[in-house]
């Protein structure tokens, strides 16, 4: 009977889907994005997390199954793998990531409305669960938030149906593995309250209650009033910190509202301010921070009551923090109501899962994925410290306009307990970007983030996951680029022989290569300031200029110095060759030739040489040929190699 | 949230939207199914608390008045169910949270409510007006869980130093209760007309059931093999009920007048139980996990543990999951849910469902 009812509800939902699906006028993917149905999951998850390993961790709970069944979903292959189990029912727990990438899980399910006092961590790198000390009492529907120092605050959660909400906030102190109870901060809170780490280090509670406060977690804790929201109670609405200290809440309530509000906690007297409403009223929603700083809202129901399955909202809406307005995006095909989740993947897409009864899974590709080529990150450090500059290697440095980091998601019950965004300052350097990490844990709690680079059209790269503020040693600074200050020799005559070129400069390393006209030549590392390279004769065969550079193994390339290949010098001497026929001899002045026996001589260029023929007895000089003619003396100027023939004949 | 089913002439004070608050009164209205041969209770449905937020159902007196908390309009609000009507108990003006946790035979009510940036215990009466029960000097917050017929309330005071079990006199004078050695946190959860207070104290080895009597505190211990226990109710004989064991497995227990602990067992097929109330007849009520989910139980010395679902006349369409309190005259306050949502092998099939509140009235 229950199953039949569910089927009827789902069918009704699909019918309403057709009615509620709105196609924006400019329904191109580059304007509204695109939804894609992918392989269903083995169950409808209730808790969904983006792990630092790049996998997505899910576990179920509703529908008669235990939460003690986590699985790992691979975004690349859509394959699902069983992972180790916590050993108890983590359904209806709270969760956030620790600095080391472990998922911290507090509370859970004994029965409906009765919470576990247990807590655990899941290490995704070792696939192991580790129990922690129990909390003060049970917590069913608690919220966990990672603090600036890496500890975790846990608030709310139902103890049981005779005690009600656990009013005692507690901080799990990672360093000691113990709980610190905030006995000075007892407060009755909503279940799964929205909690966000503010720039002042306090925990801001923007909802669902309209009375918004902040919690100082130091010592035994203390609450202070911030402001009253203008949009009323927002049960199963959502909240995001879309920029440090700036909070957006939207939807929720009963009947659901389409309204949205913002507050800037950076102001001296923060106050809530209504902004444009969504097109659809909705509750049971998910709000996802995107790498370009916009906020995507998906799913929900427009119907009254707890979870009206007859009025699902399929259209996504996108909030622009610059204009504080919403734009209608493409419509999904699966209702996403109670127990649904949506989170940002490292590739910039959004995973949309669950809702009771829906194992069907979808991916939303935001408009920025249809606006041209994406910048590429080829390398980042695995971790970085607060305030540290680190190198992001990219061939697209020239086109990068923004760098953002988004904390990994951990979602359940219409609220992401771990997401936040920071925009980082950067500068372009050789081979990539020098990016400056957030300055402190209040700006960005320690842990793992997706790092995106974005071009001028806000097209994001695929993210690299980096650890911020961890205990790992800071990565080495990017190596400095080589420079060249001198070449020796700096020129050679065309047609000359091969030679060794000595390059003087800075920042040479073993493996540096001297490039001749952009092409590497056999190079010997002498020192950080000197290289030698073998330059072949063919490299100087023709006159001209060869640009010489040095490339280091990390890809950094020096500026160029020119090597000049000169024209060959004119000869400084020429050879005068005399050939003689017949009886006689030839002598030269200047001396050098006495032909018969010595018939050639080299003379300096420009030398005027006189050859005098002397016939033997009974012979006569018959004449010159070659460079001279006639029968007198022969005068030649040595401006080239010359040959002269002297002929003698018998009388 | 509460359903909109209610008797029209019995609505609570102004400001209570009928859309959100309802009362289903079933006095004299029973299903047509024949009563079982051993039926002992008539079920009267008081209200339906809709899903999606914290819901508390707790005290009952011989007048059939019950208290608790549910989402009403804009957050959790305390309520009194009395004479077929629901009275909303809001706490101080501007409060965004209140819950009623205890009621005595005169209809005096105690509970707690947010006041600005802290939760404070309050005392109320049937008018809905409330007065704060201040914490100990230097503390900032408090909660009251129970009140006896002399108007003495039990609860805790909390501040920079610790959470401390306290009592408040009818004139609202607060007095701390003795600290169990080694404990830095304690709560008074129940009080009888002899001013004995039962509750819990957190120790380095875990939570322990404790009794405060005559200015002294006593660790009530736990069943063999268990490190933790809790005391949740006490009668005028000084008998105390609660549970022994941790989240993984609890056993309903009874501490006799001399402090001896008794395992009350579980319903057939069950693996865990918890005793929530006891009256001066030594009748104990609670909940037991079974293969069919949670079931409300009644335990007596003569009959042992029994499924209350089997003892209700003409039960139809609902399952009683918890018996949360029992009055001196034996009226039981129980919660349950629709029958078709109750047959879960894991206890949370479609886990968000309307919570139905019943009075179980002993039949002559």
Residues of B whose CB is below 8 A from A233 = 73-75
- According to CATH, the superfamily of the domain at A383-468 is Immunoglobulins (2.60.40.10)
Q: What share of chain B has pLDDT > 90, as a percent?
A: 71
What's the pLDDT at A229? 97
For residue B324, give how far its alpha carbon lies from the nearest alpha carbon of chain A (Å): 7
Are B300 and B241 a contacting pair, CB within 8 Å?
A: no
Nearest CA in chain B to A181: B162
Owner of token pair 């040489």: A609
pLDDT bucket at B350, cuts 50 / 70 / 90: low
> What is the residue-averaged pLDDT of chain B?
86
Residue range A428-451: mean pLDDT, rounded: 96
What does the pLDDT look like over A244-301, one tens digit per residue?
999 999 999 999 999 999 999 999 999 999 999 999 999 999 999 999 999 999 999 9
Q: Percent of chain A having pLDDT more than 70?
A: 94
Q: Which residues of A touch B185 (CB under 8 A)?
A: 136, 181, 183
Residue of A67, A69, A113 to mutate, interface with B, max B Cβ within 10 Å: A113
Residues of chain A with CATH 2.60.40.10: 383-468, 483-566
> Is the pLDDT assigned to residue B25 strictly greater than 60?
no
Range of lowest pLDDT (B35-39, B83-87, B189-193)? B35-39
From chain B, the residues in CB contact with A187 under 8 A are 97, 114, 117-119, 141
Q: For A401-436, write each residue's pLDDT tens digit.
A: 999 999 999 999 999 999 999 999 999 999 999 999
Say whether B158 and A91 touch across the interface (CB within 8 A): no
Please give, rounded to a whole number of angstroms, the shortest distance from the CA of A433 to a CA of chain B.
46
Q: For A118, which of B247, B321, B350 is closest by C-beta distance?
A: B247
Residue A571 has pLDDT above 90, yes or no: no
Q: Does A191 touch chain B (CB under 8 A)?
A: yes
User: 321-350 in A: which are within 8 Å (CB) of B?
Assistant: 338
Q: Which fold has domain A483-566?
A: Immunoglobulin-like (2.60.40)
From the CB of residue B282, how many other CB atoms can be counted at a distance below 10 Å?
17
pLDDT, one tens digit per residue, over A328-355 is 999 999 999 999 999 999 999 999 999 9
Q: Is pLDDT of A12 > 60?
A: no
**Which residues does B37 contact at the CB level (< 8 Å), separation at least 6?**
none
| B51: confidence class by pLDDT, cuts 50, 70, 90 | confident
Which chain A positions have a beta carbon within 8 Å of B351's beta carbon? Answer: 61-62, 91-92, 109, 112
Asked if A179 and A186 touch (Cβ cutoff 8 Å), the reply is no
The band of B351, judged by pLDDT with boundaries at 50, 70 and 90, is low
Q: Would you call A118 an interface residue with chain B, using a CB distance cutoff of 8 Å?
A: yes
DSSP, collapsed to helix, strand or coil, labels residue B221 as: coil
- Whether residues B158 and A113 touch (CB distance < 8 A) is answered with no
Distance from the A202 Cα atom to the nearest Cα atom in chain B, whole angstroms: 14
Give the model's pLDDT for residue B91: 85
The mean pLDDT value for A442-459 works out to: 97
Which of A557, A540, A556, A548 lies closest to A487, judged by CA?
A548
Cα B314 from Cα A530, distance rounded (Å): 99
**Start-to-end C-alpha separation, chain A:** 144
Residue of A91, A158, A165 lying closest to B348 (CB–CB): A91
Cβ contacts below 8 Å, chain A against chain B, sum to 178
Task: Please choose, from the candidates B258, B259, B232, B229, the residue with its C-alpha nearest in 3D space to the C-alpha of residue B245.
Answer: B229
- pLDDT one-digit tens code per residue, A497-552: 999 999 999 999 888 999 999 999 999 999 999 999 999 999 999 999 999 999 98
> What residues of B are in contact with residue A63 (Cβ under 8 Å)?
349-350
State mean pLDDT over B111-134.
92
Given a cut of 60, whether residue A24 has pLDDT beyond it is no
What is the 3-state secondary structure of A182-247? CCCCCCCCCCCCEEEECCCCCEEEEECCCEEEEEECCCCCEEEEEEECCCCCCCCCEEEEEECCEE
Contacting A residues, span 276-315, partner chain B, CB-CB under 8 Å: 305-307
Local confidence band at A478 (pLDDT 50, 70, 90 cut-offs): low
Q: Looking at CA atoms only, how far is residue B344 from chain A in angstroms? A: 6
**What is the Cα–Cα distance from B135 to A556, expressed in whole angstroms?**
68
| Rounded Cα gap, residues B346 and B293, in angstroms | 6
The per-residue pLDDT for B248 is: 79
Helix/strand/coil (H/E/C) assignment for every residue in B92-126: CCCCCCEEEEEECCCCCEEEEEEECCEEEEEEECC
B19: pLDDT strictly greater than 90: no
* CB pair distance less than 8 Å for A213 and B55: no
Q: Do B348 and A109 touch (CB under 8 A)?
A: yes
The ipTM is: 0.90
What distance in Å separates the CA atoms of residue B289 and residue A644, rounded to the nearest whole number? Answer: 127
Question: Structure tokens of A183?
Answer: 């006995």
Which chain B residues are Cβ-neighbours of A62 within 8 angstroms? 348-352
Mean pLDDT score of chain A, rounded to an integer? 92
**Separation between Cα atoms, residue A306 and residue A255, nearest integer Å:** 9
Q: Looking at the predicted structure, is the pLDDT value of residue A18 above 50? A: no
Rg of the Cα trace of chain B?
19
Q: Looking at chain A, which residues constitute the CATH 2.130.10.80 domain(s)?
A: 2-370
Q: Which of B135, B274, B351, B354 to mutate to test the interface with A (most CBs of A within 10 A)?
A: B351
pLDDT score of B316: 85
Whole-number pLDDT of residue A245: 98
As a whole number of Å, the end-to-end CA separation of chain B is 35
Question: Do A253 and A235 contact (CB within 8 A), yes or no?
Answer: yes
What pLDDT score was predicted for residue A2?
34
| CB neighbours of residue B161 within 10 Å | 14
Task: Show residues of chain B in contact with A109, CB under 8 Å.
Answer: 348, 351
A181 touches chain B (CB under 8 A): yes
Q: Which of A109, A161, A235 lies at the smallest CB-CB distance from B57?
A: A161
As assigned by CATH, the class of the A2-370 domain is mainly beta
CA distance B53 to A209: 12
Cβ contacts of residue A333 below 8 Å, gap of 6+? A17, A35, A37, A314, A362
**pLDDT surpassing 70 at residue A112:** yes
d(CA B335, CA A38): 42
**Is the model more confident about B91 or about B280?**
B280
pLDDT digits (tens, 9 = 90+) for A586-619: 999 999 999 988 899 999 888 999 999 989 888 8
CA distance B6 to chain A (A): 17
Distance to chain B for A308, nearest Cα, Å: 12
| pLDDT bucket at A477, cuts 50 / 70 / 90 | low
Place of tokens 């040479």: A508
A212 phi/psi in degrees, rounded to 5: -110, 135
d(CA B290, CA A180): 36
Per-residue pLDDT of A114-145, as tens digits, reads 999 999 999 999 999 999 999 999 999 999 99
């Amino acid at each position: 009977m229950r199953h039949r009812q569910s089927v009827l509800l789902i069918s009704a939902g699909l019918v309403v889907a057709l009615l509620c699906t709105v196609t924006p006028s400019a329904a191109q993917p580059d304007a509204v994005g695109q939804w894609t149905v992918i392989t269903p999951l083995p169950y409808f998850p209730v808790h969904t997390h983006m792990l630092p390993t790049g996998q997505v961790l899910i576990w179920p709970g509703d529908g008669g199954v235990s939460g003690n069944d986590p699985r790992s979903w691979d975004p690349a292959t859509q394959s699902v793998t069983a992972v180790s189990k916590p050993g108890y029912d983590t359904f209806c727990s709270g969760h956030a990531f620790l600095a080391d990438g472990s998922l911290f899980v507090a509370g859970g399910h004994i029965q409906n409305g009765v919470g576990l006092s247990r807590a655990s961590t899941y290490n995704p790198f070792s696939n192991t669960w580790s129990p922690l000390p129990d909390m003060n009492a049970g917590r069913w529907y608690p919220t966990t938030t990672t603090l600036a120092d890496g500890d975790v605050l846990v608030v709310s959660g139902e103890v049981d149906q005779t005690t009600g909400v656990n009013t005692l906030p507690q901080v799990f102190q990672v360093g000691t593995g113990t709980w610190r109870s905030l006995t000075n901060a007892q407060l009755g809170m909503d279940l799964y309250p929205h909690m966000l780490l503010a720039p002042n280090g306090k925990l801001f509670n923007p909802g669902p209650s309209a009375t918004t406060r902040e919690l100082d977690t130091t010592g035994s804790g203390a609450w202070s009033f911030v402001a009253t929201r203008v949009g009323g109670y927002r049960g199963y609405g959502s909240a995001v910190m879309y920029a440090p200290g700036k909070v957006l809440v939207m939807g929720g309530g009963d009947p659901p509202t389409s309204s949205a509000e913002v507050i800037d906690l950076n102001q001296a007297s923060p106050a809530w301010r209504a902004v444009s409403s969504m097109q659809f009223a909705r509750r049971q929603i998910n709000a996802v921070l995107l790498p370009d700083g916009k906020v995507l809202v998906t799913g929900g129901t427009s119907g009254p009551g707890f979870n009206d399955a007859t009025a699902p909202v399929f259209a996504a809406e996108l909030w622009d923090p610059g204009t504080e307005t919403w734009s209608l995006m493409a419509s999904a095909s699966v209702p996403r109501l109670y127990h649904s989740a949506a989170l940002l993947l490292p590739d910039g897409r959004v995973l949309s899962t669950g809702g009771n009864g829906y194992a069907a899974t979808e991916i939303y590709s935001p408009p920025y994925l249809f606006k041209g080529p994406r910048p590429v990150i080829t390398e980042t450090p695995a971790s970085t410290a607060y305030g540290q500059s680190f190198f992001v290697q990219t061939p697209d440095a020239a086109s990068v306009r923004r760098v953002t980091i988004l904390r990994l998601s951990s979602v359940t019950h219409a609220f992401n307990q771990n997401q936040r965004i920071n925009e980082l300052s950067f500068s372009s350097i050789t081979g990539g970007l020098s990016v400056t990490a957030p300055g402190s844990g209040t700006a960005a709690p320690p842990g793992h983030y997706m790092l995106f680079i974005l071009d001028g059209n806000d097209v994001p790269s695929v993210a690299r996951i980096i650890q911020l503020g961890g205990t790992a040693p800071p990565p080495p600074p990017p190596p400095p680029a080589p420079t060249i200050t001198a070449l020796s020799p700096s020129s050679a005559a065309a047609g000359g022989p091969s030679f060794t070129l000595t390059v003087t400069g800075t920042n040479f390393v073993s493996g540096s290569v001297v490039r001749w006209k952009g092409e590497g030549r056999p190079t010997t590392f002498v020192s950080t300031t000197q290289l030698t390279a073998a330059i072949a004769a063919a490299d100087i065969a023709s006159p001209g200029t060869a640009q010489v550079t040095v490339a280091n193994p990390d890809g950094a390339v020096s500026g160029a110095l020119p090597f000049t290949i000169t024209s060959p010098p004119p000869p400084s001497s020429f050879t005068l060759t005399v050939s003689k026929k017949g009886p006689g001899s030839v002598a030269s002045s200047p001396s050098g030739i006495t032909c018969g026996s010595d018939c050639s001589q080299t003379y300096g260029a420009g030398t005027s040489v006189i050859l005098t023929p002397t016939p033997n007895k009974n012979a006569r000089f018959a004449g010159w040929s070659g460079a001279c003619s006639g029968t007198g003396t022969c005068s030649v100027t040595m401006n080239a190699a010359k040959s002269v023939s002297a002929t003698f004949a018998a009388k | 949230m509460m359903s909109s089913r209610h008797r029209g002439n019995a609505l609570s004070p102004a400001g209570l939207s009928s859309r959100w608050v309802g009362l289903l009164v079933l006095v004299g209205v029973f299903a047509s199914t024949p009563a079982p041969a051993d039926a002992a209770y008539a079920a009267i449905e008081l209200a339906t608390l809709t899903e999606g937020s914290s819901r508390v159902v707790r005290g009952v007196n011989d007048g059939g008045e019950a208290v608790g908390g549910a989402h009403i309009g804009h957050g959790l609000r305390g309520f009194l169910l009395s004479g077929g009507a629901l009275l909303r108990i809001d706490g101080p003006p501007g409060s965004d949270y209140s819950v009623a946790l205890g009621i005595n035979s005169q209809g005096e009510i105690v509970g707690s409510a947010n006041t600005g940036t802290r939760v404070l215990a309050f005392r109320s009466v049937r008018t809905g007006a409330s007065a704060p029960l201040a914490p100990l000097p230097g503390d900032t917050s408090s909660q009251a869980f129970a009140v006896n017929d002399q108007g003495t309330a039990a609860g805790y005071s909390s501040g920079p130093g610790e959470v401390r079990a306290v009592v408040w006199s009818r004139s609202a004078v607060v007095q701390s209760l003795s600290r169990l050695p080694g404990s830095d946190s304690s709560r008074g959860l129940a009080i009888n007309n002899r001013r004995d207070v039962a509750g819990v104290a957190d120790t380095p080895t875990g939570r322990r059931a404790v009794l405060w009597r005559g200015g002294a505190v006593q660790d009530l211990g736990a069943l063999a093999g268990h490190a933790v226990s809790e005391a949740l109710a006490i009668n005028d004989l000084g008998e105390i009920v609660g549970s022994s064991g941790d989240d993984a497995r609890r056993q309903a227990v009874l501490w006799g007048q001399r402090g001896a602990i008794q395992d009350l067992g579980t319903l057939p097929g069950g693996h865990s139980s918890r005793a929530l109330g006891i009256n001066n007849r030594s009748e104990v009520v609670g909940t037991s996990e079974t293969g069919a989910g949670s079931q409300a139980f009644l335990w007596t010395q003569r009959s042992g543990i029994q499924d209350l679902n089997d003892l209700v006349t003409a039960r139809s369409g609902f399952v009683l999951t918890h018996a949360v309190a029992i009055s001196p005259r034996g009226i039981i306050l129980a919660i349950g849910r629709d029958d078709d949502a109750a047959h879960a092998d894991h206890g949370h099939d479609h886990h968000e469902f309307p919570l139905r509140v019943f009075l179980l009235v002993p039949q002559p």
